[in-house]
């Protein structure tokens, strides 16, 4: 199956045009709100330098310098990955078979991991500049190399725009880049030097990727990154490039090699570039470590690192490298993995934390069975819970997530689902929790669980908070893990509104019908929408042609015209707005509108369809009565919108030039 990039490549090389991304526009709404917004020009690399290169000489950890955007966390994570032995992962993220010469058409592709699958992100190569210079990330030492700037743009598109990636966590970005498991280790007084050394050295052996952060302690208004007397910056993230142990006077000292994403600004304490401590090292150790340039790179002792940094952030590429029991797991590589998708919906499945196990509210949370009944000894299990976040719609208050693990009583048979009513009867035992609820995207913990039947219950810190989640369960032995179905007419579940009920129903129907690739077709969509309509108290569903039109209009579809879960959620929301507008115009409630009403209907949904378009629609759908039904309207609106988008994408000077095959393709897709 050809990727979106390959399809675009064929289209634009044939048309001899440069690609302009219709989903990431060159206007101020896609820029960082705290930086230049007026006077910004979006230029292609060929307009900035004479001989642009995508990748000049491989990937180096010091290629990427931070610009006028607070995304040190992302740039530090790329530096960490570039400095690691996992260049093959970076090649997957940044495919090297792209350039500004052969087959150049103004677009570049990148791959990111998102909640269990790799997704391709295609961007055009127009980059924001001010006074002829790039305003965000770039390679300062080699201005002709552009993989860093374009990767940053692709990451911004993945999450919505440049503004939403201003501020974040290193481990969160590393998970997006690798699909690994994130872990955060608190520093300062929370950990001893010996324990920290064991974590650093063993994780380094396992090729885990690491970074570090200093929190903003002073919280000065308008200032997020404040320089300390030590030369380090508060509110800033650093990449850990290397860890080295050196001998000084018959003792061993652990040194960390760090890099500031700015490319300047360094630690000025012991083992800084010109400190006297270097004279205590052997010449071999000194030659292997010491640099004296202000390039943002520096060495720092483990003790100074622990006392000056607030958090060590780690991304393990396999569960084997988790810090607990790590020295015993260095040879373990095969893990059983299961994954689940779910959602917390207010009044339906967002019951909040376990304040009381006799509370009906808590038990409406999603439940997942975890069977270790075949194990004959305690089993190491890693549970990783993600909030599927949308940075564009980030809530004013971040959602804190967590989970609890209960174990069924062996004496009694287990019920189909634990509820407030049967809790006392079956008496499942609380065996583990995720600990403190965190307002971060990922919550991951390792446990040693006894053989038997367990229940995992993901939940939020407060009841009623809505979000989707992605749950991964790793175990060192084969396991059986599956969602617990919500029984019909469950007294615990009281939907808060018809909208909540219908959306929950379509998501549940989608989960029940989707294949392993995560997509469904129009025939499946008929079934999914029928579930939503029935949940909202409507009997009649949509026919397959309507669902084909809706799928064809979706922004989130595969090259085969299939649609994924997020696409279904979005078109369902759009569908409700279109139907509401239709019924607003259909004042006599006869499920039909004439040409004048159709014109008003288009105006209501803010779509400027001229009289020619309305006349063509009425000719196609109006029949002898000159009126169209709601479902006819949905079909014609989808087709009209698709044609409009195609025109906006391909038109030059108000005209479109296309081949016969392109014309047929557009006609069939509508």
Task: For the chain, report the end-to-end CA distance as a whole number of angstroms.
Answer: 21
Residue with tokens 């409700």: 576
- Which is catalytic among the residues 260, 308, 329, 365? 260
Taking the CB of residue 397, how many other CB atoms lie within 10 A of it? 10
Q: Which residues pair with 253 in a beta bridge?
A: 246
Alpha-carbon span 454 to 446, nearest angstrom? 15
Residue 459: active-site member = no
The DSSP letter of residue 229 is T
> SS3 of 531, please?
helix
Active site residue 72: yes
Q: Can you name the residues that pair with 184 across neighbouring β-strands?
A: 313
Question: CA nearest 205: which of 289, 85, 49?
Answer: 85
SS3 566: helix
Residue 529: burial class (beta carbons within 10 Å; 0-12, 13-18, 19+): buried
Backbone angles phi, psi at 541, to 5 degrees: -100, -170
Query: At 186, phi and psi to the nearest 5?
Result: -70, 140
Q: Could you please report the per-residue DSSP string of 241-283?
A: EEEEEEEETTEEEEEEEEE-TTS-----STTSTT-GGGGGS-H
Please answer whether residues 166 and 34 qualify as being in contact, where contact means their C-beta atoms are separated by less than 8 angstroms: yes
CA atoms within 13 A on the CB side of 414: 19
Q: Are 392 and 161 in contact (CB under 8 A)?
A: yes
Using an 8 Å Cβ cutoff, are 46 and 211 in contact?
A: no
Report the sign of the C-alpha dihedral through residues 559, 117, 171, 198, in that order. Answer: negative
Whole-angstrom Cα distance, residue 552 to residue 69? Answer: 36
CB-neighbour burial class of residue 163 (10 A; exposed 0-12, middle 13-18, buried 19+): buried
The residues pairing with 446 across neighbouring beta strands, listed in sequence order, are: 382
Minimal CA–CA distance to 180: which of 309, 81, 74? 81
**How far is 578 from 27, CA to CA, in rounded Å?**
28
- Known active-site residue 543: no
| Coil, helix or strand at residue 311 | strand
- What is d(CA 448, CA 432) in angstroms, rounded to the nearest whole number? 10
Q: Are 399 and 439 in contact (CB under 8 A)?
A: yes
Tokens of 458: 């993901």
* Integer Cα distance of 25 and 40 in angstroms: 13
Beta bridge partners, 140, equal: none
Cα distances from 635 to residues 141, 280, 545, 578, 589, in angstroms, run 54, 78, 8, 11, 20
CB atoms within 10 A of CB 365: 22
SS3 assignment, position 288: helix
Whole-Å CA distances, 356 to 362, 406, 458 = 8, 14, 15
Q: Catalytic residue among 236, 316, 408, 454, which?
A: 236
Active-site positions read 72, 236, 260
């Amino acid at each position: 199956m050809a990727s979106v990039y390959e399809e675009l490549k064929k289209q634009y090389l044939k048309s001899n045009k440069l690609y302009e991304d219709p989903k990431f526009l060159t206007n101020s709404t896609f820029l960082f709100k705290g930086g230049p917004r007026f006077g910004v020009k979006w230029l292609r690399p060929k307009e900035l330098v004479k001989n642009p290169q995508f990748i000049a000489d491989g990937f180096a950890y010091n290629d990427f310098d931070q610009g006028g955007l607070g995304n040190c966390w992302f740039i530090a994570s790329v530096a960490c990955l570039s400095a690691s032995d996992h260049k093959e992962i970076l090649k997957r993220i940044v495919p090297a078979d792209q350039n500004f010469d052969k087959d150049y058409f103004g677009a570049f592709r990148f791959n990111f991991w998102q909640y269990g699958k790799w997704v391709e992100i295609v961007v055009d190569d127009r980059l924001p500049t001010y006074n002829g210079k790039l305003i965000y990330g770039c390679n300062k030492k080699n201005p002709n190399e552009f993989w860093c700037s374009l990767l940053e743009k692709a990451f911004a598109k993945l999450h919505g725009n440049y503004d939403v990636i201003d501020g974040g966590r290193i481990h969160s970005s590393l998970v997006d880049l690798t699909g690994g498991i994130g872990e955060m280790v608190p520093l300062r007084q929370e950990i001893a030097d010996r324990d920290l050394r064991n974590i650093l050295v063993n994780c380094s052996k396992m090729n885990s990727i690491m970074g570090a952060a200093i929190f903003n302690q002073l919280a000065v208004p308008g200032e997020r990154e404040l320089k300390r007397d030590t030369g380090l910056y508060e509110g800033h993230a650093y990449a850990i490039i290397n860890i080295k142990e050196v001998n000084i006077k018959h003792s061993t000292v652990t040194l960390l090699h760090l890099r500031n994403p700015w490319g300047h600004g360094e630690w000025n304490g012991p083992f800084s570039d010109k400190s006297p401590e270097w004279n205590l090292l052997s010449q071999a150790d000194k030659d292997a470590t010491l640099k004296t340039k202000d390039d943002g790179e520096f060495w720092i002792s483990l003790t100074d690192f622990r006392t000056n940094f607030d958090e060590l952030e780690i991304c393990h590429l396999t569960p084997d490298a988790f810090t607990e029991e790590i020295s015993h797991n260095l040879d373990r590589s095969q893990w059983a993995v299961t994954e689940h998708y779910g959602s917390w919906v207010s009044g339906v499945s967002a019951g909040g934390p376990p304040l009381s196990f006799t509370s009906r509210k808590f038990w409406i949370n999603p439940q997942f069975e975890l069977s270790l009944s075949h194990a004959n000894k305690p089993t190491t299990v890693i549970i990783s819970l993600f909030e599927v976040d949308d940075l564009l719609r980030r809530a004013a208050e971040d959602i804190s997530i967590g989970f609890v693990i209960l174990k069924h009583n062996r004496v009694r048979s287990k019920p189909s689902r634990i509820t407030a009513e049967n809790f006392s009867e079956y008496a499942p035992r609380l065996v583990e929790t995720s600990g403190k609820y965190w307002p971060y995207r990922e919550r991951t913990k390792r446990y040693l669980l006894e053989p038997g039947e367990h229940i995992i219950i993901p939940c939020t810190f407060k009841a009623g908070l809505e979000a989707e989640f992605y749950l991964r369960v790793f175990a060192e032995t084969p396991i059986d893990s599956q969602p617990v179905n919500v029984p019909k007419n469950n007294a615990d579940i009281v939907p808060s509104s018809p909208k909540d009920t219908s959306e929950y129903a379509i998501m549940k129907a989608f989960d029940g019908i989707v294949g392993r690739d995560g997509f469904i077709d129009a025939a499946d969509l008929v079934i999914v929408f029928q579930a939503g309509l029935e949940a909202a108290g409507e009997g009649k569903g949509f026919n397959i042609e309507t669902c084909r039109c809706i799928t064809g209009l979706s922004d989130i579809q595969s090259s085969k015209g299939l649609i994924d879960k997020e696409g279904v959620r979005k078109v369902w929301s759009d569908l409700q707005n279109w139907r509401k507008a239709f019924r607003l115009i259909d004042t006599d409630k006869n499920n039909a509108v004439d040409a004048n009403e159709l014109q008003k209907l288009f105006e209501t949904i803010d779509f400027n369809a001229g009289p020619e378009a309305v006349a063509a629609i009425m000719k196609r759908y109006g029949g002898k009565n000159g009126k169209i039904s709601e479902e006819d309207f949905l079909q014609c609106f989808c087709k009209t919108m698709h044609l409009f988008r195609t025109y906006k994408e391909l038109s030059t000077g108000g005209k479109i030039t296309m081949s016969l095959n392109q014309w047929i393709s557009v006609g069939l897709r509508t």
